[in-house]
Structure 1
Amino acid sequence: MPGIHEVRRLPYTAEQMFDLVADVGRYGEFLPWVVATRVRSDSESEMTADMLVGFKHLREKFTSRVEKQRPNRIEVFYLDGPMKDLDNRWLFTPLSDEGCEIDFCVDFTFRSSVFEALAGQYFDRAFRKMMAAFEARADALYGSSSSSATSVA
């Protein structure tokens, strides 16, 4: 299964970043290509949500189960949608300078191996754009950032 892994250090607390990522209902306000979200169920430790993603005239719905361990971990498990699999994990580690390190990875498999070979090259670019949107949202909510990003293969 192809995957992408990114580590970023941000000047925000693990709690702040956890809350931002866990607020799926607001993704449409800042994430590129997210047309709408619907939280089906939500508790302290688990959520089920739908996300409608669109680009031009294409629209696809994804359903996921989200396991939450505040403030350190969010894991997203793909339940239904156009792909074969799409899971991701967020780890939030507090740093001594009041900031935190975010370790984010996503694993994906397209239903078609041909489509995976074609779309996989664009998935990396889309992933990086999404990470930048989360960082910009943190800046807007919590103050300006001077983050340092490190990519991990």
Structure 2
Amino acid sequence: MPRHSETRQLPYTPEQMFDLVADVGRYAEFLPWVAAVRVRSNSATEMVADLIVGFKALRERFTSRVHKERPDHIRVDYLEGPLKHLSNDWKFRPDGKGGALVDFCVDFTFRNRVFEALAGQMFDTALRKMINAFEERAAVLYGAGGAAIGASGISSSSAHSAA
């Protein structure tokens, strides 16, 4: 099961990062491989959304429930699609300098072992593109310098396993 955990220090407030991640309806505007989004329901604490994810001729629909605990936590639970399991967890906390520490964890399992093996080979590259897309979107929405520190102040640490 591919799994990745990472913490990033970003020059945006925890509230700004929460708003960016919680705005699932706009993911198709900036996330690679997200072709379309349909928000089925949305409240202050929960959203159910379908994402059409594709690469070239392959397209799959994922349905997820997004649990929102403003301003510090978003948990995504997989409901339906080509996977056996998918879970993401986002935590946002002040870094003490006006920015945020963003903790991100994702793990998933494909139903098909062949897809699982292929995903494991491409997992790091795809994940980097997605993480970079969120950071670039934050710079577009909130300015490259963010709330406190410049882009050069971004740091990260990660732990990855594909078992």
**TM-score, L = length of structure 2:** 0.90
Aligned counterparts of 1:4 and 1:51: Cα–Cα separation in 2: 21
Letter matched to residue 45 of structure 2: S
Q: Which residue of 2 aligns with 1:102?
A: 102
CA contact (8 A) 1:4 1:107 kept: yes
Do the aligned residues in 2 keep the contact of 1:7 with 1:152 (CA within 8 Å)? no
- Give the structure 1 partner of residue 113 of structure 2: 113
Distance across 1 between alignment mates of 2:105 and 2:63: 18
Deviation at 1:112, TM superposition (A): 1.9
1:42 aligns with 2:42: yes
Which residue number in structure 1 is paired with residue 148 of structure 2? Answer: none
Q: Which runs of 5+ in 2 are unaligned?
A: 145-150
- Name the residue aligned to 1:126: 126
Distance in 1 (alpha carbons) for counterparts of 2:139 and 2:53: 24
Q: Which residue of 1 aligns with 2:147?
A: none
Deviation at 1:143, TM superposition (A): 1.1
Q: Is the 8 A contact 1:17 1:138 kept in 2?
A: yes
Q: Structure 1: which amino acid aligns with 2:158? A: S
Q: Is the 8 A contact 1:76 1:87 kept in 2?
A: yes
Q: Which residue of 1 aligns with 2:21?
A: 21
Identity %: 65
Q: CA deviation at 1:28?
A: 0.7
Cα deviation per residue 1:50-85 (whole Å; 9 max; x = unaligned)? 000111111110000000001100000000001111
Q: Distance in 2 between matches of 1:95 and 1:137?
A: 20
Alpha-carbon contact 2:2-2:123 (below 8 Å) kept: no
Q: Matched residues in 1 for 2:85 and 2:5: separation?
A: 16
Supply the RMSD in Å over aligned alpha carbons: 1.0
> SS of the counterpart of 2:83?
coil
Distance in 1 (alpha carbons) for counterparts of 2:157 and 2:72: 19
The CA deviation at 1:148 is: 1.5
Question: Could you give the per-residue CA deviations for residues 65-107 of structure 1, whole angstroms, max 9, x where no partner exists?
Answer: 0000011000000000011111100010111100000110101
Pairs aligned (count): 153
**Distance in 2, Cα, partners of 1:85 & 1:52:** 17
State how far apart, in whole Å, the 2-side matches of 1:83 and 1:122 are: 16
Letter in 2 for 1:75: R
Corresponding residue number in structure 1 for 2:51: 51
Would the aligned equivalents of 2:75 and 2:88 in 1 still touch at CA under 8 Å? Answer: yes
User: Hey, what's the Cα distance between the residues in 2 that align with 1:115 and 1:142?
Assistant: 37
